[in-house]
Structure 1
Amino acid sequence: MAELPREEQVAAAFVDLADTLVQDFDVIGFLYTLAEHCVHLLDVSAAGVLLAAPSGRLVDVAATDESTRRLETHSVEWGEGPCWDCFRSKQQITGVCLDTPEAQARWPRFTPRARTAGLTSVATCPLHLHGQVIGSLDLFRNRPGPLNASHLRLGQALANTATIGILQQQAVSVQTTLTAQLESALDSRVVVEQAKGYLAHRLDTDPEQAFVHLRQYARSHHVRLTDLARQVIQGTAHPALFDKHNQ
């Protein structure tokens, strides 16, 4: 099937991110979708999304590959990196080349780890609405030069749409609050990571491929990602999920 023109791809991404008023809305799966759209539409090699817990700490909840997820996890643990600067300032990080002394001085632990992962620059967009910041979107490049201004604007627009979707979904629910929703998302992230590790062991593959398989199975069987992850952990998932021939 021929790929859609770029304008239609962009429109489809916004429609996808705006469609949050559904009964089985899954924050974790939704933020993975945001990250995947960014890699598909922007001139970046990887993307990661972090959410803020009510305590103010950031938690990495979605990344497009395992290397980026590890980098984001370390950044959260160190309290250092573009995600933290973006979250604290409520402002974009417009594009930092990671092979400069300035980047090394700014993020002494994050920068060498990012360079080791093959990343050359990073830009970050806040997930914010009317001064309320609920997280950040990190956009990484593995090619020379920072992300250009037009792609950064599109990345921020996608982040804004996702933020509106999350807050809108919360607003129409009479049984939850934003705090409860974010806490649930953070708990779900742990379950997904556990399921990914278990599935990787069962399929004798790496966690990144196991996660791709988990997401594809969830989509094709119309099951929420977090529900499927819990089934894996609880031992109630369908045996077909563990069939190596279905990868």
Structure 2
Amino acid sequence: MIDLLNRLTEYCVRLLPVDAAGLVLSDQRGHLRVVSSSTEAARVVELFQLEADEGPCLDAFGTGQAIAVPDLREATGQWPRFAAHAVREGFTSIHALPMRLRAETIGALNLFGAHPGPLPRADVRIGQALADMATIGILHEQTVRRADVLAEQLQGALNSRVIIEQAKGVLAGRSQLDMVQAFTLLRNHARNTNQRLRDLALTVIEDNTTADLLLHTTDNPNPSRQQS
């Protein structure tokens, strides 16, 4: 993914009449971070923009709309600190394109120019298309990761359930308890000894002395029925 984002800024400079490009993405807490830039000057400007908390990139991210600034020297009233800093770094125009899919905006692609002037509409569309493709790729990867985590959690829950069922069988087989009573015994002992139910169940399966201990130390030979 990092390679994709680096190539995105490089492609922008190759394909569009701009001198540099930078990319910022939102982290899990909603804070923007600089993740790619085609030049060191662009990276410095992006970092300053985030530090100053003002600039077209932040506006594009906040509104989900493209922000065009043909001449930064005329934008000192809107972004006084950012505009002055960008001009000092050699940029006099900027176009900020939101990285958005439907209602979700995850960042912004910023196109810097060393000379004032607007980008032709066709070039703006190309830049937005590149930003859109990167957005789809990022969101797809996040979806796959979340799906993988969920699958692992579900598999873990299923595995734990199997272990607990086996432990219930061990206890029931070594006593007069039925399966519901065996589960109640397991659950109560886990709570009383501050253990995870799965860990206790695994110990019961692997060590017969643990099962005997539970069966002989319980004060209630007929635990109250409760569904597992």
Aligned to 1:61: 35
Q: 2:101 aligns with which of 111, 129, 134?
A: 129
Q: Report the Cα distance in structure 2 between the residues aligned to 1:109 and 1:95, rounded to whole angstroms.
A: 15
Kindly indicate whether residue 4 of structure 2 is the aligned counterpart of residue 30 of structure 1. Answer: yes
Please list every run of 5 or more consecutive structure 2 residues that lacks an aligned counterpart in the other structure.
Answer: 151-228
Which of 115, 121, 142 matches 1:149? 121
Q: CA deviation at 1:152?
A: 0.7
- C-alpha displacement of 1:145: 1.1
Q: Is the 8 A contact 1:170 1:176 kept in 2?
A: no
What one-letter code is carried by the residue in structure 2 that aligns with 1:120? T
Q: What residue in structure 1 maps to residue 16 of structure 2?
A: 42
Deviation of the 1:96 alpha carbon? 3.4
Is the CA contact 2:70–2:116 (under 8 Å) kept in the aligned structure 1?
A: no
Q: Distance in 1 between matches of 2:101 and 2:120?
A: 23
Aligned to 2:192: none
Determine if the alignment matches structure 1 residue 97 to structure 2 residue 71: yes
Residue 33 of structure 1 and its aligned partner are, at CA, apart by: 0.8
Amino acid at match of 1:89: T
Does 1 or 2 have the higher relative contact order (CA < 8 Å, sep 6+)?
1
**Cα distance, 1:169 vs. partner?**
2.4
Q: Unpaired runs of 5+ in structure 1?
A: 1-26, 178-247
| Structure 2 equivalent of residue 175 of structure 1 | 148
RMSD after superposition: 1.4
Aligned counterparts of 2:98 and 2:108: Cα–Cα separation in 1: 4
1:83 corresponds to: 57
Larger Rg: 2
Q: Does structure 1 residue 120 correspond to structure 2 residue 89?
A: no
| Inter-CA distance 83–153: structure 2 relative to 1 (3 Å threshold) | same
Conservation of the 8 A alpha-carbon contact between 1:119 and 1:140: yes
Amino acid paired to 1:63: S
Partners in 1 of 2:141 and 2:32 — Cα distance? 21
1:131-155 CA-partner distances (Å, limit 9, x unpaired): 1011000001112312221111110
Shift of 1:176: 5.0
Contact 2:9 2:23 in 1 (8 A): yes
Residues 95 and 147, structure 1, Cα contact 8 Å, conserved in 2: no
Q: How many pairs align?
A: 149
SS in structure 1 of the partner of residue 24 of structure 2: strand
User: For 1:144-199, what per-residue CA distance to the aligned partner results, in whole angstroms no more than 9, with x for missing partners?
Assistant: 3122211111100110011011112232343359xxxxxxxxxxxxxxxxxxxxxx
